[in-house]
């Protein structure tokens, strides 16, 4: 059993050029070389097998996961993400909970199972007692309890709550992932426990969310889309029509449309914009792709509300451009070029 692997590798960096377009197998080999070297230095063992999930890309994605089996037959899950302006990059290492000693598993489960039991019994006092004083103080008076109860209501009575993966991010700091299954749905839980020895551990962080890609996850994202877009569009979103179940990790994108109460439909892009590896709710960005709406909004911001905008297509291809025509009541016309990269658009006077 290799309990302290994560702490040893948190500072590791991947010597892989993220912009290099390589076949998936070559990318896997490059990542394996970096991680296996660190592992061999730590434990004197190599990998029997190693595979990565990079998604549908031929370059290193913003977030990815690899699974290794070492020469002893133990399995490890590496989660890596690239840094950005808001979050530094990093690597965490997880292993199946079944690779731990039974007494260790029992110690880890103690505060987590009590946490879940208190939720099931609608007992906020018992719930608070499972938390560290700092965490309990930070969520006092917040909506956390109501949000957790709402999630439990959505999945129905808990039928099974089992730990799946374990990580050891620091001395006397442990992280455990749970699969929580109810009659009507599934939740994913991530818990950080601090402590050691004979004393019971306390939860210093937790995250409970709908299982990624599940029907409950999609419904939650549809609600988020409506709450974000309705004020911006000036009309209530009544339906979200896009494959939100595709949003599984940082950089994943889904495109579709929303239907508004006045009968219009607006093309939309959704992107998962933050890593799934921490204890914060995953962040999602919703952006408008409807070309004529974007040009009309630009004109309206300049005080020009009377113009009519026509575009040859609803959306601009990613990385491309499109010229739209602006017609004003007095008969004048103007062409404007809309350029797109990802979900961002810029306007320029059209040439010709």
The per-residue pLDDT for 282 is 64
Query: Where do we find the tokens 């008076």?
Result: 141
Backbone angles phi, psi at 79, to 5 degrees: -120, 125
Q: What is the distance between the alpha carbons of residues 172 and 206, in angstroms, rounded to a whole number?
A: 16
Q: pTM here?
A: 0.81
Query: Residue range 274-280: average pLDDT?
Result: 72
Backbone angles phi, psi at 250, to 5 degrees: -50, 130
The per-residue pLDDT for 285 is 92
Residue 212 has pLDDT above 50, yes or no: yes
Residue 5 has pLDDT above 50, yes or no: no
Longest dimension (CA), the chain: 83
At 22, the pLDDT band (50, 70, 90 cuts) reads very low
Q: What is the pLDDT of residues 23-71, one digit of tens each?
A: 568 889 989 999 999 999 999 999 999 999 887 766 788 888 999 999 9
3-state DSSP percent of the chain in helix, strand and coil, to 5: 30, 35, 35
As a whole-number percent, the residues of the chain with pLDDT over 70 amount to: 90
Query: Which pair of tokens denotes residue 100?
Result: 């731990």
Min mean pLDDT across 4-18, 110-124, 152-166 is at: 4-18
């Amino acid at each position: 059993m290799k309990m302290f692997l994560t702490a040893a590798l948190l500072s590791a960096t991947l010597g892989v050029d993220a912009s290099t377009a390589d076949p998936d197998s070559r990318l896997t080999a490059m990542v394996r070389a970096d991680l296996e070297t660190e592992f061999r230095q730590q434990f004197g063992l190599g990998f029997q097998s190693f595979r990565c999930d990079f998604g549908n890309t031929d370059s290193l994605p913003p977030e990815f996961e690899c699974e290794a089996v070492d020469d002893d037959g133990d399995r490890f899950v590496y989660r890596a993400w690239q840094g950005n302006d808001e979050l530094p990059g990093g690597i965490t290492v997880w292993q199946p909970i079944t690779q731990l000693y039974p007494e260790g598993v029992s110690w880890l489960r103690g505060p987590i199972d009590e946490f879940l039991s208190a939720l099931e019994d609608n007992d906020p006092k018992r719930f608070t007692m499972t938390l560290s004083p700092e965490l309990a103080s930070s969520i006092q008076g917040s909506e956390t309890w109501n949000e957790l109860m709402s999630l439990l209501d959505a999945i129905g009575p808990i039928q099974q709550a089992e730990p799946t993966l374990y990580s050891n991010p620091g001395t006397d700091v442990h992280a455990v992932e749970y699969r929580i299954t109810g009659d009507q749905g599934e939740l994913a839980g991530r818990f950080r426990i601090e402590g050691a020895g004979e004393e019971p551990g306390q939860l210093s962080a937790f995250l409970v969310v709908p299982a990624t890609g599940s029907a409950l996850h999609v419904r939650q994202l549809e609600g988020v889309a409506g709450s974000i877009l309705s004020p911006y569009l000036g009309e209530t979103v009544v339906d979200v029509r896009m494959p939100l179940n595709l949003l599984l990790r940082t950089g994943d994108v889904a495109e579709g449309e929303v239907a508004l109460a006045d009968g219009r439909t607006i093309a939309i892009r959704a992107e998962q914009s933050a890593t799934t590896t921490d204890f914060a709710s995953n962040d999602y960005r919703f952006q408008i792709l409807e070309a004529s709406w974007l040009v009309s909004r630009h004109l309206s911001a300049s005080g020009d509300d009377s113009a009519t905008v026509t575009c040859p297509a609803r959306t601009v291809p990613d990385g491309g451009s499109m010229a739209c025509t602006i017609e004003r009541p007095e008969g004048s016309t103007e062409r404007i070029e809309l350029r797109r990269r990802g979900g961002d658009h810029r306007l320029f006077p059209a040439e010709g």
